[in-house]
Chains A and B, each alone.
Chain A
Amino acid sequence: MADLLGKNFTPPDIHGKVTGRAKYAEDFRMDGMLFCRLLQSPMPHCRVLGIDSSAALAMDGVVAILTADEVPEQPGPANNILTNEPHFVGEPILAVAAITETIAQNAIEAIELDLEPLPFCVDPLESLQPGGPNARTDGNTVVERDGVQERKWTEADFAAAAEGELPMGEPGTEWSYGDIDAGFAEASIILDETFVTAGTSHHSMEPRTAMAYWQNGKCYLHASTQSQSFVHPGIAEYIGVEPENLVYIAEYCGGGFGSKGGAYPLLSIPAHMSRKTQRPVLMRISRAEEYFLGSARPGFQGRIKMGFRDDGRITAVDVYIVQENGPNRGGGDMNSAASAISIVYTPLNMRYRGISILTNTPPRGPQRGPGQNQMATAVEPLLDKAARQLGLDQVAIRHINAPTHDSLYGSSRGPITSAYLREALEQGAELFGWEERRLRSGQRDGSKVRGVGVGQAFHSAGSSGFDGLVRITPDGKLHIHSGVGNLGTYSYASTSRVAAEVLDCRWETCEIVHGDSSRGLPWTLGQFGSNTSFTMTRTNFAAATDAVRKLKEIAARRLGGSASDYDIGNETVFARGNPGRRLTYAQAAQAAIEIGGEFSGHEPPEDIDSLTRRAVAGLAGTGLIGVARDNLVQSGAVPALAAGFVEIELDLETGGIEILDYLGVVDCGTVLHPQSLSTQIKGGAVMGFGMAVSERHIYDRHWGLPGAVGFHQAKPPSYLDVPSEMDWHAVDQPDPNNPVGSKGIGEPTMGCAGAALLCAISDALGGHYFNRTPVVADMIINVVSERAQSHRPLQVNTQ
């Protein structure tokens, strides 16, 4: 075998990143290119009654103005391309194209808008009050199939909650299993806690710039997305063009973290403007605009009741989540959060209730571990509270509740493919020296006090049923066509190596074809949901297996005998027992072209997607085509599980936290690429630390205006906020549903670290639980000095 898996290698796209040659969307230029700027809503909710653009259009250098009436209307409550009823500050109303960006911006300033302010809301609980404001004129929640509806709770619902407790009126969704009353009756202790997790920006370093032009009826678009093939149909629809008439180029993506996983409407604006002006159009998005248009994680106002036996086993969980959803369809975070509880803690009985409430804040979407990571930061510190009351170790209380291979997942109580969280906890505790470090818990050194913490997180990390495509050309090269996208995790490359492994090709003879839809890319899932390592190893395995079959059949046709007489090795197909009777891959590729039919790609299989079919049609006759849908068995949800261990020093005088050490341990199946796995574990931890102690959206209640529209305000971690060295480890046990044993892992690496840090802070403070993220320095100071917090318990979007 080629022996590629589990080994480090240099991904082909990294050279461009260190030399500056890598071209992102803003790095392309076209002759006669116009610059486009957006006029964005200054209000959280309003109606555009009139637009006077006469002065702008009269300006030298202004070429065109594009309004909402000229672009496809999106079926509400979807994210709009342009709109005459903005639902958040920063929502684009119109676009101006000019020969320079300065002129375009000056033209924006010269446009007179007549706006009618409409009621708005930035706090879900306020919207749920009788007579409370709705984020949309037709309601405050989205009900599946029925669209936007109005939901209000009663005075009695609010009165039933004690001060600081989440009221729990009629939910929008609910499920349960077992008997929670019986579960609580069986419990030795019961915790009933209200919590808040903040909405946070994605902070992709590359703003979502896009450039488009048209040639011969085809739209060429350079934009920033995590995914390649997966976004293609959606982008084509936003532009209003047949998918085959869209050439989509996204070879590099400067960070997405979920916000660029699917097609998003903004990137179609330059395409519409280019169609109107008949010139190429570049639209740059500023950093401040990213805070409105760059998506955000939904915040939670929640309440969780947990029952524990003496040994720490969780007998029952009753959880209620109110999700701050932004103004549109938003995300399914609250449902994912509940499902995460079901598998990370395997409660014997459980009920979940949730309601997603619309707010006039940035549209929400998935952010690394959507739902699961909010839940990790809310629930993990409560496990420690229970452990403290029961006299148990923090690792032990997690271990007894951790899933095994036969645990069931979510509301459907479906099976999972594998779970090694117990092993992750055991191996992590050993490697971290948990027992010794625990002894340092609470130790004082002047104003500084030590704390230790352990955290866990989960994400469903794998899918199936997508297509793989490989091609061997008469020069003997293996081309692995990858449609997954290039988020920056290098998993597009590590999963491609499975095809090389199956075909026993040296890596040097392989080329990964990706980043440009005109190069023949198959239909695959996008690069999100921690799924690439599971999903794409399967598609590449399927395509390479198809290529192996074809190699053997070609050999039989050319050299006699039957296909089963042949084997492959060293980039040749040879007769078993007579290795001299052989074809090189180069010869076999030439033969495939000559034989035609399925071998050359002229007769693709029936069950592949139309996008893959088009890709194969474009490649047909250029070599031996291996193409197949992944029809391998998937028998359950694919758990990516992670545990994080933290030791901190907390300064009681400043509220400052120094993270002394971090260890992340993961269950990601068999390790494909150790180096990129380590970057996911550590990089995820950095994001988790930000979520735990610094990042949040801020909204002014009175005017609905945002207060965190810069890095220095929204506070993603810098070098100085995280340890300069971090450790990692993988359990490295194969998943039975993957041909090479692999599962994804990108998302829980964040949640486990954020949770561990919050647990360490509580530990350092002798068991004070904030029930809130982020825990910022002044909150710590308030606790130490026994002052009340400046926020109310359920307040959202606070400093």
Chain B
Amino acid sequence: MDSSGAPGTTVTLLTTPSNWSRRDLIKGVIASGVSVSAMSYFAAGCTTPLPAQTGGVDRLLSLTVNGQVRRVDVLPGETLAMTLRYKLGLTGTKLGCDRAECGACTVLIDDVNHYACSTLTHRVRDREITTVEGLESPDGILHPVQQAFIDELGPQCGFCTSGQVMSAVALLRVNPNPTRQEAREAMSGNLCRCGAYDHYLNGVMRAAREA
């Protein structure tokens, strides 16, 4: 039986992490070995790194995600998709297959599109990671690809859309004026069961025109 990539922690999202003092955090660490990893999520943004966990693997690391440095506790075999979704609250990155078949989890690593389900988080500690949440400008202006996907009614069910957006963004960064055939090939690692390929390609071409 296929065991889909497993999260390493109990997930408890705290809406107001700023209320947590360092003392609370350390108390949490002492109280429960299990809660250590969850607590480390709340330490995101701390300037002083927490001591490394025992066991020889430095689990606490800094990830640069959408331009922000995030401190996060990562298990040795943890995938980037799980870190993003279950540690950093970035659920825009979807898991459709968890084994590099469908592309729903596509993110950019140093501007290149990768399947986050098949990327170990520990291997991208010094890289720039961009997820679908990182495309919109702070004033709410959508990335041209996002806007073009709306204008062309690209998404149907929407589950593959984040990945389609990221592959299109990656393409336009290296090839701002692709032919439709080039776009088709560049997007071919992203499956869409609704069959919205034509509309997504319309979106890519429109984004290239309007960017």
A→B interface (CB under 8 Å)? 8, 10-11, 13-24, 26-27, 29, 31-35, 37, 40, 42, 60-61, 90, 99-102, 104-105, 108, 203-207, 252-257, 284, 286-289, 487-490, 675-676, 678-679, 682-687, 709-712, 716-720, 722-726
Q: B192 interface residue, CB < 8 Å from A?
A: yes
* A residues less than 8 Å from B104 (CB atoms): 205
Q: B63 interface residue, CB < 8 Å from A?
A: no
Bound Cα distance A666, B59 (Å) = 57
Given A17-B161, A61-B34: 4 more A-B contacts, CB < 8 Å: A14-B158, A19-B92, A284-B4, A675-B153
Q: Which of B48-56, B119-127, B182-190 makes up part of the contact surface?
A: B182-190
- B155 near A14: Cβ-Cβ < 8 Å: yes
Q: Which of B22-30, B95-103, B108-116 makes up part of the contact surface?
A: B95-103
* B residues less than 8 Å from A723 (CB atoms): 198
- A254 near B157: Cβ-Cβ < 8 Å: yes
**Nearest-CB distance from A254 to chain B (Å)?**
3
Q: Which residue of B has the minimal Cβ distance to A252?
A: B158
Please name the 7 residue pairs, one residue from A and one from B, whose CB atoms are nearest each other, closest first: A20-B92, A686-B195, A254-B159, A488-B157, A17-B158, A683-B195, A288-B2
Proximity bits, B108-149, A CB within 8 Å = 1, else 0? 000000000000000000000001110110000010001101
**Nearest-CB distance from B124 to chain A (Å)?**
19
* B residues less than 8 Å from A19 (CB atoms): 92, 132-133, 135-136, 142, 146
Chain B interface mostly: loop
A-B contact count (CB 8 A): 216
- A287 near B96: Cβ-Cβ < 8 Å: yes
Bound Cα distance A679, B89 (Å) = 31
**Residue of B85, B99, B153 contacting most chain A CB atoms (<10 Å):** B153
* B residues less than 8 Å from A487 (CB atoms): 157
Q: A682-B199, A722-B195, A724-B181 are in contact. Are A207 and B96 (CB under 8 A)?
A: yes
One of B10, B13, B98, B199 near A286 (C-beta < 8 A): B98
- B92 near A205: Cβ-Cβ < 8 Å: no
Q: Which residue of A has the minimal Cβ distance to B145?
A: A18
Q: Which residue of A has the minimal Cβ distance to B161?
A: A17
- A26 near B95: Cβ-Cβ < 8 Å: yes
Bound Cα distance A253, B181 (Å) = 30
**Nearest-CB distance from B55 to chain A (Å)?**
15
- B159 near A29: Cβ-Cβ < 8 Å: no
Proximity bits, B1-30, A CB within 8 Å = 1, else 0? 111101111111100000000000000000
Bound Cα distance A289, B195 (Å) = 22
- B197 near A488: Cβ-Cβ < 8 Å: no
- A287 near B193: Cβ-Cβ < 8 Å: no
Q: Which residue of B has the minimal Cβ distance to A101?
A: B6
One of B11, B135, B136, B149 near A29 (C-beta < 8 A): B11
One of A20, A105, A710 near B6 (C-beta < 8 A): A105
One of A8, A40, A711 near B191 (C-beta < 8 A): A711
- B194 near A683: Cβ-Cβ < 8 Å: yes
**Nearest-CB distance from A113 to chain B (Å)?**
13
- A687 near B188: Cβ-Cβ < 8 Å: no
A-B contacts, 20 listed (Cβ < 8 Å): A14-B158, A19-B132, A19-B142, A102-B8, A205-B102, A286-B98, A288-B2, A488-B158, A675-B153, A678-B153, A679-B153, A679-B196, A682-B197, A685-B195, A687-B195, A716-B193, A720-B185, A720-B188, A722-B195, A725-B201
Bound Cα distance A710, B102 (Å) = 10
* B residues less than 8 Å from A716 (CB atoms): 191, 193
Bound Cα distance A711, B187 (Å) = 16
One of B133, B147, B159, B184 near A720 (C-beta < 8 A): B184
**Nearest-CB distance from B138 to chain A (Å)?**
13
* A residues less than 8 Å from B155 (CB atoms): 14, 17-18, 488
Q: A287-B96, A716-B191 are in contact. Are A20 and B12 (CB under 8 A)?
A: no
Residues of B in contact (CB 8 Å), total 67
- B195 near A682: Cβ-Cβ < 8 Å: yes
One of A18, A33, A685 near B12 (C-beta < 8 A): A33
- A725 near B198: Cβ-Cβ < 8 Å: yes
**Nearest-CB distance from A645 to chain B (Å)?**
16
**Nearest-CB distance from A490 to chain B (Å)?**
8
- B159 near A206: Cβ-Cβ < 8 Å: yes
- A287 near B98: Cβ-Cβ < 8 Å: yes
Bound Cα distance A698, B29 (Å) = 50
Q: B79 interface residue, CB < 8 Å from A?
A: no
**Nearest-CB distance from B196 to chain A (Å)?**
6
- B97 near A710: Cβ-Cβ < 8 Å: yes
* B residues less than 8 Å from A99 (CB atoms): 10, 34
* B residues less than 8 Å from A710 (CB atoms): 97, 99, 101
**Nearest-CB distance from A107 to chain B (Å)?**
12
* B residues less than 8 Å from A717 (CB atoms): 195
Q: B171 interface residue, CB < 8 Å from A?
A: no
Q: B156 interface residue, CB < 8 Å from A?
A: yes
- A684 near B195: Cβ-Cβ < 8 Å: yes
Q: A18-B149, A205-B157, A286-B98 are in contact. Are A100 and B10 (CB under 8 A)?
A: yes
**Nearest-CB distance from A252 to chain B (Å)?**
6
Proximity bits, B158-194, A CB within 8 Å = 1, else 0? 1111100100000000000000110111011011111
One of A10, A286, A678 near B3 (C-beta < 8 A): A286
Q: Which residue of B has the minimal Cβ distance to A24?
A: B159
- B9 near A719: Cβ-Cβ < 8 Å: no
Q: A14-B153, A14-B155 are in contact. Are A687 and B8 (CB under 8 A)?
A: no
- B159 near A205: Cβ-Cβ < 8 Å: yes
**Nearest-CB distance from A545 to chain B (Å)?**
30
- B150 near A14: Cβ-Cβ < 8 Å: yes
Bound Cα distance A16, B157 (Å) = 11
Bound Cα distance A37, B3 (Å) = 9
Bound Cα distance A99, B12 (Å) = 11
- B201 near A206: Cβ-Cβ < 8 Å: no
- A101 near B195: Cβ-Cβ < 8 Å: no
Bound Cα distance A207, B153 (Å) = 23
Bound Cα distance A709, B44 (Å) = 38
**Nearest-CB distance from A82 to chain B (Å)?**
15
* A residues less than 8 Å from B1 (CB atoms): 40, 42, 90, 108, 288-289
Q: Which residue of B has the minimal Cβ distance to A676?
A: B153
- A289 near B201: Cβ-Cβ < 8 Å: no
- B193 near A257: Cβ-Cβ < 8 Å: yes
- B7 near A101: Cβ-Cβ < 8 Å: yes
Bound Cα distance A711, B183 (Å) = 22
Q: Which residue of B has the minimal Cβ distance to A11?
A: B153
Bound Cα distance A15, B147 (Å) = 9
* B residues less than 8 Å from A679 (CB atoms): 153, 156, 194, 196, 199
Q: A17-B158, A254-B158, A710-B101 are in contact. Are A286 and B4 (CB under 8 A)?
A: yes
Q: Which residue of B has the minimal Cβ distance to A35?
A: B7
